[in-house]
């Protein structure tokens, strides 16, 4: 897709990917409502295939290509969940996948990617080195490249999280989602603008990787100065397509500290009994931090993934 | 209730406790189906209030009493989840609760019980000492005693897990549930006998706490010889009311080893992204062990609770 997806594009993509993804549950707990002073819903994309919403975007991008375009396989660069998603949809389509992963990617995500039959190439942890290596892979294999977020097909796939959520829960005042490269928040912003304009989408970022916050403030893309955050899914920087959609649809980004992320993560494990990555504790940490803002409203939080190394927990 | 609950009793109890409990989700994952060669559903009572199905039985017993009987509060002895459940329903009814807990009960369950406002009395880890101390508490306070399982009101409350599950998932061939004191398995056996006679209920126990298995074999209650199992919820021994119902409704108990429990527990954490106690990994371990038996069938597993000490994981 070479244009900003319209409502019909989103509906078409939703139908296209439906056989390859799960409709995920929404959880709700009265004790959390009491704590927050709001009615809080958790959209559990940690229950999605590959354990993350990324399966939606990767499926949307792959299934939008012709058989001819796909026959040499798929490639991408990703620190984890998008890698698994591309590897899994490639396996479903019976084509090869070649994944460039930074050396510091969590072992558990690396193993999972291998388990779907991917070939992994190790890069340095910088965006520049990832991009250099993926160009080499494309040159050598002819594989089709699926960008982890700066791609309208991927964004329209991620938009189906919000579409599904809006059907499952009525009258939402807010949806809170984390911002990494911006694919999910862009898709969520789009789906609310078409299907529930009264629902405000708020982005949430670690103070240690605040590129979207700074970019909105400055009116142009500001790269992350540090990516020293436990929220490994949010270390990437937004790009032109996602920045443009964030500028149009997201009024506010809330920042939270590392301590707030870890404490919110542990609270969700203990109270909701679900396994979530540090990245998706970021919106809940934001909700706790800005309680007054959300008082008495209906808020949904997108739980983006649950791929955690159980042998290396931060608590 | 002083008789074995009939179908109308169960329907009445279901309505009675409805405002005090949650309807819990059922999860399903295609990769688990593939691994097991069966269609497998997980009834997530770890999402229940207090993080365990015990909220149902405790609510049923408390709400079946008159205001007069309740006014001096509730008491029980329990290693954890039933304690929390009695403490929580007492708080809801604005009456005191007095809980006898063995000294070796997990700290996380002890803290949660305190958080509902209970007064805790420490006993030795034997059934005899628990019962001695609870008799003392009843004498001193006049509180109403809710046995953790050997009580027809409690059993009818636990039966609502199966009733709810049978509505959520059609045509189940098997329901697998762990056996501790036998309240849940008795209730599940009853609910299937009334509402889905074709569904076979199978009990699952650790080899290290196999009292129900041995009791069925011998035709009389055999006490646990050891309770040296990580499945702390299953260390109790069945009693007359639960044994009688197990004899009538449960044809088979499957035993599993400690290694099988830990490995099944870790697999569920990783694949389903939910936090479960060792006790409820026991049925999934049994399913994996007896794959051939369940091949091609529709099986539901009751995930009984999710109250785990995150600082002391067995893996």
Question: A299 pairs with which residues across the strands?
Answer: A40, A174
What pLDDT, in 10s, does the model give residues A139-165? 999 999 999 999 999 999 999 999 999
pLDDT at B232: 85
pLDDT at A199: 98
Contact, B54 vs B146, CB < 8 A?
no
Query: Where a domain ends, among A110, A145, A180?
Result: A145
pLDDT at B67: 95
pLDDT at A60: 98
Collect all residues from B whose CB is shorter than 8 A from any CB in A.
Answer: 22, 25, 27, 29-31, 44, 46-47, 49, 51, 266, 269-270, 272-276, 306, 310-311, 313, 315
pLDDT at A232: 85
pLDDT at B227: 84
Contact flag A315-B315 (C-beta cutoff 8 Å): no
Residues B48 and B159 in one domain: yes
Residues A171 and A201 in one domain: yes
> Kind of pairing, strands B200-206 and B174-178?
parallel
Using pLDDT thresholds of 50, 70 and 90, give the confidence band for residue A4.
Answer: very high
pLDDT at A106: 79
B308 assigned to some structural domain: no
Using pLDDT thresholds of 50, 70 and 90, give the confidence band for residue A104.
Answer: confident
Residue A49 has pLDDT above 90, yes or no: yes
B1 assigned to some structural domain: no
Chain A residue with Cα closest to B25: A25
Average pLDDT for runs of 10 along chain B of length 315: 96 98 97 97 98 98 97 92 96 97 85 95 88 96 97 98 98 98 97 98 96 96 89 90 98 97 95 95 98 98 93 76
Task: Tell me how far apart the 2 most distant CA atoms of chain A are, in Å.
Answer: 56
Residue A300 has pLDDT above 80, yes or no: yes
d(CA B218, CA B236): 18
Contact flag B27-A25 (C-beta cutoff 8 Å): yes
| Predicted ipTM > 0.85 | yes
pLDDT at B266: 93
d(CA A117, CA A123): 19
Contact flag A266-B310 (C-beta cutoff 8 Å): yes
Look up residue B219 and give its DSSP letter.
Answer: T
* B22, B49, B275 ranked by CB distance to A274: nearest: B275
- CATH number of residue A284's parent domain: 3.40.50.1100
Q: What is the pTM of this model?
A: 0.95
* A27, A269, A272 ranked by CB distance to B310: nearest: A269
Contact flag A310-B47 (C-beta cutoff 8 Å): no
**Domain around B291:** 7-53+151-303
Using pLDDT thresholds of 50, 70 and 90, give the confidence band for residue A312.
Answer: confident
Chain B residue with Cα closest to A25: B25
pLDDT at A105: 82
In chain A, pLDDT over 90 holds for what percent of residues? 88
Question: Strand, coil or helix: what is B94?
Answer: coil
Cβ-based neighbours of B170, under 8 Å, separated by 6 or more: none
Query: Where a domain ends, among A127, A145, A163?
Result: A145
pLDDT at B226: 83
Q: How far is B244 from chain A (nearest CA, A)?
A: 34
B40 assigned to some structural domain: yes
* A27, A276, A315 ranked by CB distance to B310: nearest: A315
Backbone region of residue B273 per phi and psi (left: phi > 0; alpha: psi in -120 to 50; beta: other values): left
* A27, A47, A270 ranked by CB distance to B47: nearest: A27
Residues A129 and A188 in one domain: no
Q: How far is A301 from chain B (nearest CA, A)?
A: 17
Summarize the confidence of residues A107-119 as an average pLDDT: 91
Q: What is the mean pLDDT of chain A?
A: 95
Summarize the confidence of residues A47-76 as an average pLDDT: 97
Domain count, chain A: 2
d(CA B142, CA B73): 8
Contact flag B273-A272 (C-beta cutoff 8 Å): no
Question: Strand, coil or helix: what is B175?
Answer: strand
HEC secondary structure over chain A: CCCCCCHHHHHHHHHHHHHHCCCCCEECCHHHHHHHCCEEEEEEHHHCHHHECHHHHHHHHHHCCCHHHHCCCEEEECCCHHHHHHHHHHHHCCCCEEEEEECCCCHHHHHHHHHCCCEEEEECCCHHHHHHHHHHHHHHHCCEECCCCCCHHHHHHHHHHHHHHHHHCCCCCEEEEECCCCHHHHHHHHHHHHHCCCCEEEEEEEHHHCHHHHHHHHCCCCCCCCCCCCCHHHCCCCCHHHHHHHHHHCCEEEEECHHHHHHHHHHHHHHHCECCCHHHHHHHHHHHHCHHHHCCCEEEEEECECCCCCCCCCC
Chain A residues with CB under 8 Å of B312 CB are: none
What pLDDT, in 10s, does the model give residues A88-100? 999 999 999 999 9
Residues A47 and A157 in one domain: yes
Q: How far is B59 from chain A (nearest CA, A)?
A: 17
Residue A259 has pLDDT above 80, yes or no: yes
Chain A residues with CB under 8 Å of B269 CB are: 275, 310
Residues A175 and A299 in one domain: yes
Chain B residues with CB under 8 Å of A311 CB are: 315
Chain B residue with Cα closest to A20: B30
Residues B140 and B165 in one domain: no
Chosen from A42, A263, A273, A309 to mutate, greatest number of chain B CBs within 10 A: A273
Residues A195 and A299 in one domain: yes
pLDDT at A269: 95
Residues B31 and B81 in one domain: no
Residues A220 and A85 in one domain: no
Question: B147 pairs with which residues across the strands?
Answer: none
Q: How far is A243 from chain B (nearest CA, A)?
A: 31
Residues A203 and A244 in one domain: yes
Residue A236 has pLDDT above 90, yes or no: no
Query: Where a domain ends, among B120, B145, B170?
Result: B145
d(CA B309, CA B153): 30
Q: Which of B280, B264, B236, B218 is nearest to B131 (CA)?
A: B236
Residues A113 and A240 in one domain: no
């Amino acid at each position: 897709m070479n244009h900003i997806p319209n409502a019909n594009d989103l509906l078409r993509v939703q139908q296209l990917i439906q056989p390859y993804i799960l409709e995920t549950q929404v959880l709700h707990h009265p004790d959390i409502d009491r704590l927050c002073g709001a009615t809080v819903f958790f959209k559990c994309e940690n229950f999605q295939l590959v354990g993350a919403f990324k399966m939606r975007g990767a499926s949307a991008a792959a299934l939008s290509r012709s058989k001819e375009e796909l026959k040499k396989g798929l490639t991408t660069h990703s620190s984890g969940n998008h890698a698994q998603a591309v590897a899994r949809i490639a396996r479903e389509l019976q084509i090869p996948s070649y994944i460039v992963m930074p050396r510091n990617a969590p072992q558990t995500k690396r193993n999972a990617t291998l388990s779907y039959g991917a070939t992994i190439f190790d890069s340095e942890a910088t965006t520049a080195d990832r991009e250099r290596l993926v160009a080499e892979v494309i040159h050598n294999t002819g594989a089709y490249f699926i960008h982890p977020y700066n791609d309208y097909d991927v964004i329209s796939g991620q938009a189906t999280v919000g579409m599904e959520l809006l059907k499952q829960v009525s009258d939402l005042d807010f949806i809170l989602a984390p911002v990494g490269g911006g694919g999910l928040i862009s898709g969520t912003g789009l789906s609310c603008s078409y299907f529930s304009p009264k629902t405000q989408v708020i982005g949430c970022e670690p103070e240690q990787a605040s590129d979207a916050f700074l970019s909105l403030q400055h009116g142009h893309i500001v790269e992350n100065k540090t990516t020293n955050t436990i929220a490994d899914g949010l270390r990437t920087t937004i790009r032109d397509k996602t920045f443009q959609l964030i500028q149009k649809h997201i009024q506010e980004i809330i920042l939270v500290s590392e301590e707030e992320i870890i404490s919110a993560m542990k609270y969700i494990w203990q109270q909701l009994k679900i396994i979530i990555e540090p990245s998706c504790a970021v919106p809940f940490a934001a909700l706790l931090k800005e309680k007054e803002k959300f008082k008495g409203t209906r808020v949904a939080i997108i739980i983006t993934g649950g791929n955690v190394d159980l042998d290396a927990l931060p608590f």
